Amino acid sequence: MNKHLAVIILAAGKGVRMKSQLPKVLHPIAGRPMLGYTLDLARSLKPKLEICVLGHQSRIVRDYIEKEKGKVKIVIQKKLLGSADAVKQTRSILRHFRGTVLLLYADNPLVKPQTIKNLIRYHQQAHAAGTLLVATLDKPKGYGRIIRNSAYDILRIVEEIDAKEHEKDSKEINTGICCYNKERLFSMVFGFFTLLNIILNYILIIRFGFMGACYATIFATGLGFIFYTYYIHRHLSIAFEGVKHGKEKGKD
């Protein structure tokens, strides 16, 4: 067991673009609900705590998790206010934990364990407040861009719809997967952005910019290929993932 590691899996979203009554995270890839792959990934890291945040159709998703027979603690996000609010729901479970909190997403099912192990190692060796897994794409259209300054520090992460033309030239994109120092994580979630919760949807990754403004040590590292950080948004991407997963199994 890694007593200095806790994993939060975000699995609360509706998946509106899926146009389905089935919870997004239970849509199958290669015959298995995509959430199952993320649970396997978390389990392989042997964390002290493994927490899954549920929301939309939580009862159905909970039933699936219980069938997996893991030691997963479940919390419910009653109002779907975004990823930072989802993380807030885990505070009571993590109140006595000290160490690194890894944030994973249930709709990103094919991340390789070694990529995440490298991310955790990089984060802990750097004694960073936060470390974000990024990827570089030749065609980054549709993804949030990483914006850096001349010293290569992260300034902010901007969604494409909000990006200026010169910011869209950045080929470095945000995967959303990140490690946080636990104390820094909750000081942000319950601090600065709580004041703005009336006008802002809670988007956790924005906090990397805020942490930089507070002179925390922030890193972004590209440790994996984009295939392994490909998120599921529509049925077409599920088909793509299923084909790729089959090929990867053949290689193994």
Q: What is the CATH number of the domain that holds 202?
A: 3.90.550.10
Residue 97 and residue 183 in contact, taking contact as beta carbons nearer than 8 Å:
no
Domain span at 91: 2-251
For 143, phi and psi rounded to 5 degrees? -105, 155
Q: Based on the number of CB atoms within 10 Å of its own CB, is 96 exposed (0-12), middle (13-18) or buried (19 or more)?
A: exposed
pLDDT of residue 74: 97
Q: How far is CA 200 from CA 101, 195, 203, in A?
A: 24, 10, 8
Find the helix or strand (DSSP H, E) in which 27 lies.
Answer: none
Q: Cα angle vertex 148, ends 130, 178, to 5°?
A: 25
Q: Is the dihedral of CA 101, 105, 109, 115 positive or negative?
A: negative
Question: Which has the closest alpha carbon to 12: 82, 69, 68, 109?
Answer: 82
- The two tokens of residue 243 are 């084909």
Q: How far is CA 176 from CA 31, 66, 69, 145, 152, in A?
A: 26, 26, 27, 11, 19
Q: What are residue 104's DSSP bridge partners?
A: 9
Tens-binned pLDDT, residue by residue, of the chain (252 aa): 899 999 999 999 876 666 677 888 998 888 899 999 999 999 999 999 999 999 999 999 999 999 987 789 999 999 988 887 888 899 999 999 999 999 999 988 888 898 899 889 888 888 888 888 888 888 888 888 888 888 877 777 888 888 999 999 998 888 888 888 898 887 766 554 443 333 333 344 444 444 443 334 445 555 543 334 444 444 444 444 444 444 455 554
pLDDT of residue 111: 85
Catalytic residue list contains 62: no
pLDDT of residue 195: 38
For 215, phi and psi rounded to 5 degrees? 65, 30
pLDDT of residue 80: 87
Task: Determine which one of 17, 98, 121, 234 is catalytic.
Answer: 17
pLDDT of residue 19: 64
Q: How many domains does the chain have?
A: 1
The amino acid at 24 = K
pLDDT of residue 123: 87
